[in-house]
């Protein structure tokens, strides 16, 4: 998208929508709770030099709260905006737009962290405004505390109005762009009224299969089952990607290796027979769920299965060697 954000015309126009597979390597250790994932599907809306901050926020507000769309309770929503720093000012326009829509100032936090990009060291970047939903069972707190994990981020509107230069300075872009991203898994869980992502319809069949394979119930083994489900889904998507990433000890390959090995470790914790084809069964279910939209999963099915099997064999050898030395 970078050339278009910098001003080149996009062949499909100035208003785009998409869905994206997004990998969050920074969240590997977080997975195991109710909301974190190493891969999520992001629903994107893009304005390439068309509508900007005020309209993006109004559209987001309408989509979240209108009965015609998601119909979420405004009382359960909270927002963050960019507080400003030495590079760019406080995002007063975003703040005032939320206020104009009836949002209480108690539900808007000003944070310096509300800044997106650039992807890499230079390029388009800018302030963002994030939308959170209250997932606690007790009544929604009067004052939004962004540190409280029961406030779950579901959507982010990024305002790409700057370009970061190699010397660290930023200058205004000729085009003002919007890049919004909504988390499909988290939003689905909220719409289905479950406060655990992994109990939504997106995950329930994968969790049920892990229950069957391990002969254990989800209750009491949530952490292990969430990690196995999440890490195997991400491993399937990475292995199927046309970029051809394979497990290794560096860069992307290391992420893949780490995800597969972590899922094996947690499968061992559930006493799953590692030498059975448990990982293949789970991978095939994931492939069948997603290949309609991500066709590379079906095309590269054999690659995925052999990546998982080979890594399992290698990891088993490493474990045996380690145990012997110990
Ligand atoms: N595309 C919006 C985001 O990455 O948050």
Measured by CA distance, the residue closest to atom 2 of ligand 1 is 181
Q: Residue 115 to residues 110, 161, 165, 249: CA-CA distances in angstroms?
A: 11, 11, 16, 31
pLDDT in tens, 119-155: 888 999 999 999 999 999 999 999 999 999 999 999 9
Among 4, 181, 186, residue to substitute to test ligand 1 (most atoms within 8 Å of Cβ): 181
Average pLDDT score, the chain = 96
Residues 177 and 6: their CA atoms lie apart, in Å, by: 9
- Position 83 scores a pLDDT of 98
Residue 94 Cα to ligand 1 midpoint, Å, equals 16
Report which of residues 119 and 193 the model is more confident about.
193
Element (H, E) at 323: helix 301-325
Three-state SS at 114: coil
Q: 88 pLDDT band (50/70/90 cuts)?
A: confident
Q: Is the model's pLDDT at 1 over the cut of 90?
A: no
- What atom of ligand 1 comes closest to residue 44's alpha carbon? 1
Residue 152 Cα to ligand 1 midpoint, Å, equals 15
- Position 323 scores a pLDDT of 80
pTM: 0.93
* Pocket of ligand 1 from Cβ distances under 6 Å: 44, 116, 156, 158, 179-181
- Position 128 scores a pLDDT of 98
Q: Is the model's pLDDT at 265 over the cut of 90?
A: yes
- What atom of ligand 1 comes closest to residue 42's alpha carbon? 1
Residues 288 and 219: their CA atoms lie apart, in Å, by: 26
């Amino acid at each position: 998208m970078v050339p278009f954000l910098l001003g080149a015309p996009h062949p499909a126009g100035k208003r785009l929508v998409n869905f994206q597979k997004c990998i969050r390597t920074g969240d590997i250790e977080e997975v195991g709770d109710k909301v974190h994932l190493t891969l999520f599907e992001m629903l994107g809306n893009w304005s390439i030099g068309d509508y900007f901050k005020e309209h993006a926020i109004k559209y987001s507000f309408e989509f979240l709260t209108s009965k015609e769309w998601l119909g979420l309770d405004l009382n359960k929503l909270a927002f963050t905006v960019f507080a400003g720093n030495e590079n760019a000012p406080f995002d007063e326009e975003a703040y005032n737009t939320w206020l104009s829509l009836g949002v209480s100032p108690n539900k808007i936090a000003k944070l310096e962290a509300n800044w997106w990009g650039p992807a890499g060291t230079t390029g388009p970047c800018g302030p963002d405004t994030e939308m959170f939903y209250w997932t606690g069972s007790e009544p929604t707190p009067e004052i939004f505390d962004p540190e409280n994990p029961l406030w779950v981020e579901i959507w982010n509107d990024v305002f790409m109005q700057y370009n970061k230069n190699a010397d660290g300075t930023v200058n205004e872009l000729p085009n003002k762009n919007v890049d919004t991203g909504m988390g499909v898994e988290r939003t689905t869980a909220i719409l289905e009224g479950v406060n655990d992502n992994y109990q939504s319809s997106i995950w329930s069949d994968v969790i049920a299969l892990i229950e069957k394979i391990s002969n254990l119930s989800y209750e009491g083994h949530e952490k292990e089952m969430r990690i196995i489900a999440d890490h195997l889904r991400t491993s399937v998507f990475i292995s199927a990607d046309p970029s051809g990433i394979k497990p290794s000890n560096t860069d992307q390959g290391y992420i893949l290796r780490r995800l597969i090995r972590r899922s094996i470790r947690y499968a061992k914790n559930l006493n799953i027979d590692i030498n059975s084809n448990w990982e293949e069964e789970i991978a095939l279910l994931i492939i069948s769920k997603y290949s309609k939209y991500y066709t590379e999963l079906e095309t590269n099915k054999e690659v995925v299965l052999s990546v998982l099997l080979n890594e399992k064999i290698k990891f088993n050898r490493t474990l045996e060697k380690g145990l012997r030395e110990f």
